[in-house]
Homo-oligomer: A and B are copies of this chain.
Amino acid sequence: MDFNDSPEEAEFRARARAWLAANAPEVNWAQLDQSDEPAMKAAGQAWQARKADAGFACISWPREWGGGGESPVMQAIFDEEEGAYGIAFRFFGIGLGMCLPTLMAVGDAQTCKRFVGPALRGDEIWCQLFSEPGAGSDVAASRTRAVRANDGSGDWIVNGQKVWTSGAHYSDYGLLLARTDPDVPKHKGLTMFWLDMRSPGIEVRPIHQASGDSEFNEVFFADVRIRDCQRLGEIGEGWKVALITLMNERLAVGMGSGPGWRELLALARELPGADGRPAVEDQALREKLADWYVGAEGIRLTRLRVMTALSRGQAPGPEASIGKIVSARQMQDVATEALDRLDQFGIVAGEAGGADIAAFDYNFFFGGALRIAGGSDEILKNIIAERVLGLPADIRVDRDVAFKDIPRGR
């Protein structure tokens, strides 16, 4: 057990730190207008390109695709140092965290050569088109159809609808899971494709969320034509490809963001509690803060264990799967507690409330969403029970049934 940098790591950190000092954007991060998406995107792309030029984009990717060829630990070190500048762009996570690793795993050399570089530089942004209204927890129940064009071209014609697609509206490309054969059991009739998000027939509509925001989209496909060379993996093997993406999703998604125990502690120091004493003196709150620290820090440390395994060339262990279960619930709980401690003032939203309360409000809703997104609490516990602990799968009534014959309700 050693938390100190090894000589190599220390050298890398010094290099990263020096580079960041010379190159980090000279903006006042707190004052950027996060809602001005085009400006944020331009700034993000510029920063990503600058990192790529210096070899600091995708540090742990193979050198042949433009990555740094370093261990994941080095990436974590860079992230730490970059984090100190408060730099955080939301545009590249899904592409670089999920789509491109999938592409690199199953795509041919030509496809990788075409896409990895531009994605890594931030020139092209990717989204992931998996979830559907009728296929949430049960991703493999996707109904979006891809059928061969009847013109002999070998092309595919896509019709259907995806949902909860982060960034579909600013993405250039997407990874599409589609049903190519409804007459076989559901896992066997899926095929994976990449596609140009500007293809004719694609319509992106923002979802009006329960929180009032619109961070996700619905994507509609009406006779969207894609070529067979856009297929990733064999026909009918889409589920296997999807599992690569989902595994990467589980590693990538999962950290709660926004106010946590630290911000609640800060708030509680200012807030009047019982008898006018600061709320932070309330032992009930203190015990919860301790438990939330244990949860948040435990997840952070668990990620370091994963990284250690990766840097030793081992597969990440099952411990990676606990992150979102803990952090999503905690996101919701911490926000609820903050509102409780604000007492009557907790109902105040918007400008009258102040930015710190708005952040807790956001998490009050978004914690609920995070408990669902990327695998609900229930699905993740099933995954732990089945894949980690080796317990029997739930009784499956749809396993050997042709997809079209599976009961699906309304």
Q: Does A150 contact B (CB under 8 A)?
A: no
Q: Does A274 contact B (CB under 8 A)?
A: yes
- Which stretch in A14-22, A30-38, A189-197, A283-291 binds the other chain? A283-291
Closest residue of B by beta carbon distance from A290: B284
The residues in A between 312 and 336 inclusive whose CB is less than 8 angstroms from any CB of B are none
The residues in A between 262 and 305 inclusive whose CB is less than 8 angstroms from any CB of B are 274, 282-287
Which of A283, A395, A397 is packed against the most chain B CB atoms within 10 Å?
A283
Contact residues in B for A283 (Cβ distance below 8 Å): 274, 282-285
Distance, CA A208 to CA B319, complexed state (A):
39
Distance, CA A285 to CA B395, complexed state (A):
43
Shortest Cβ distance from residue A116 to the other chain B in the assembled complex, whole angstroms:
46
Shortest Cβ distance from residue A282 to the other chain B in the assembled complex, whole angstroms:
5
Shortest Cβ distance from residue A264 to the other chain B in the assembled complex, whole angstroms:
16
Contact residues in B for A284 (Cβ distance below 8 Å): 283-284, 286-287
Contact residues in B for A287 (Cβ distance below 8 Å): 284
Shortest Cβ distance from residue A343 to the other chain B in the assembled complex, whole angstroms:
15
Contact residues in B for A395 (Cβ distance below 8 Å): 395, 397
The quantity of this chain's copies bound in the complex is 2
Distance, CA A287 to CA B273, complexed state (A):
14
Distance, CA A283 to CA B397, complexed state (A):
50
Closest residue of B by beta carbon distance from A274: B283
Shortest Cβ distance from residue A385 to the other chain B in the assembled complex, whole angstroms:
15
Distance, CA A283 to CA B286, complexed state (A):
9
Closest residue of B by beta carbon distance from A288: B284
Distance, CA A274 to CA B284, complexed state (A):
13
Closest residue of B by beta carbon distance from A286: B284
Contact residues in B for A282 (Cβ distance below 8 Å): 283
Shortest Cβ distance from residue A331 to the other chain B in the assembled complex, whole angstroms:
22
Distance, CA A283 to CA B287, complexed state (A):
10
Shortest Cβ distance from residue A273 to the other chain B in the assembled complex, whole angstroms:
9
Distance, CA A375 to CA B351, complexed state (A):
52
Shortest Cβ distance from residue A382 to the other chain B in the assembled complex, whole angstroms:
15
Closest residue of B by beta carbon distance from A395: B395
Closest residue of B by beta carbon distance from A285: B283
Distance, CA A283 to CA B283, complexed state (A):
5
The residues in A between 359 and 410 inclusive whose CB is less than 8 angstroms from any CB of B are 395, 397
Distance, CA A282 to CA B285, complexed state (A):
11
Contact residues in B for A274 (Cβ distance below 8 Å): 283
Distance, CA A285 to CA B287, complexed state (A):
10
Contact residues in B for A397 (Cβ distance below 8 Å): 395
Shortest Cβ distance from residue A409 to the other chain B in the assembled complex, whole angstroms:
13
A-B contact pairs, 10 of them (CB 8 A): A274-B283, A282-B283, A283-B283, A283-B284, A283-B285, A284-B284, A284-B286, A284-B287, A395-B395, A395-B397
A residues neighboring B (CB under 8 Å): 274, 282-287, 395, 397
The list of the 7 closest CB pairs from A to B, nearest first, reads A283-B283, A284-B284, A283-B284, A284-B287, A395-B395, A282-B283, A284-B286
User: What 7 additional pairs, Cβ within 8 angstroms, besides A283-B284, A284-B284, A395-B397?
Assistant: A274-B283, A282-B283, A283-B283, A283-B285, A284-B286, A284-B287, A395-B395
